[in-house]
Every structure is written in C-alpha cells, then in structure tokens.
Structure 1
Amino acid sequence: MLMVETRIVAELSGRIISLSVGVGDKVGEGQEVAVVEAMKMEIPLASPVSGVVVGVFCQPDEMVSEGAPILSIKFASEEGSHDA
C-alpha cells in the first residue's frame, strides 16, 4: 500500500471562518474540515479522502486567495502499489 498526500485548497478567495481539525487528527471521507466565507456565503470544505491531517497552512480569521492550500491529508492508496 502506498501513502499519498493530497491538499485541500480554497475554492474562492475569502476568510477562514473555522478549522475543525489539526495536525495528527484522523478524518473521514466527506468530513467537514474547514469553512471559508466568500462573497457573504459560508462554504464548507470536506475531506476528499479518509486519512490523517499532516499539515495546516492557515488559521481562523485569515484571508486566503483562490487555490491557496488549507490543509494536507495523507492517506493509503492501492494505486501504484502493485508490481508492473
């Protein structure tokens, strides 16, 4: 099994309202991990995978630009782990 890292990024420029996880926390696929306020809307960000948070790149009340990394999650992947 191969360990892979993925990043969750801000979909729009805005302000981080909340982070519900920290480094070392386990997350499930679809779990809300942060909320960004953009254009007077609250946009929840969910984990695309089940894994462990290995990096947090912002703090609540911080302004972020579109595409800015919010956090990083390491997860196990079957892809690429077999002999070719």
Structure 2
Amino acid sequence: MTSSNAWPRIAFDAWSLSFDAMTVIGLRTMRLASGGAVADRESERMVAEKIFALWMLPLAMVSPMPTLDPAVAAQRSLAHFGKTVRSNRRRLSR
C-alpha cells in the first residue's frame, strides 16, 4: 500500500480508536465512581497499562527500513494502541 493510498484507512482507524477510547473512558469512569476494591484495581490497572503501552511503542515502530514512512508510522502506532483500547472496551463492557 502506498503512502498516499493509506491515509483514508489511517483516518478511519484513528476515528475508530477515538470512539473506542471514549467508550473506555465512560466505562472506566462508572467503574471508578462505584468505589471500593474494584475501583482501586481498575485505577492501578489503568496507570500500569498506560505506562506499559508507552514503553512498548518504540518496539512497535521498529522497521527494517532505514527511514520510516509517515503512513507506516501512523498505522503501527494506531495498531499498537488500538489493541489495548479494544481489549479494555470488551473487558469493561461485560
């Protein structure tokens, strides 16, 4: 996929990630508002996941190419963060 053809898909993936992230924020807010041990575990998990996701991002961006195409960088970063956000959305929706 060439860089110019990739951007519409990247835009859709970014929109999809933002929708999932808003859903996770709402579900987490409800869980945190309930208080107790469940809220404590969720807040600890939330912080740990964010730190881990940022720590692992450089590994997701590793490429055999000497220079990384901006479209490839965008696709990889959206895929990296999207995996965790979708997982949280499914878990919190149960």
- Which of these two proteins has the greater Rg computed from alpha carbons? 2
TM range (shorter): under 0.3
Higher strand share: 1
The TM-score with structure 1 as length reference comes to 0.23
The TM-score with structure 2 as length reference comes to 0.21
Higher helix share: 2
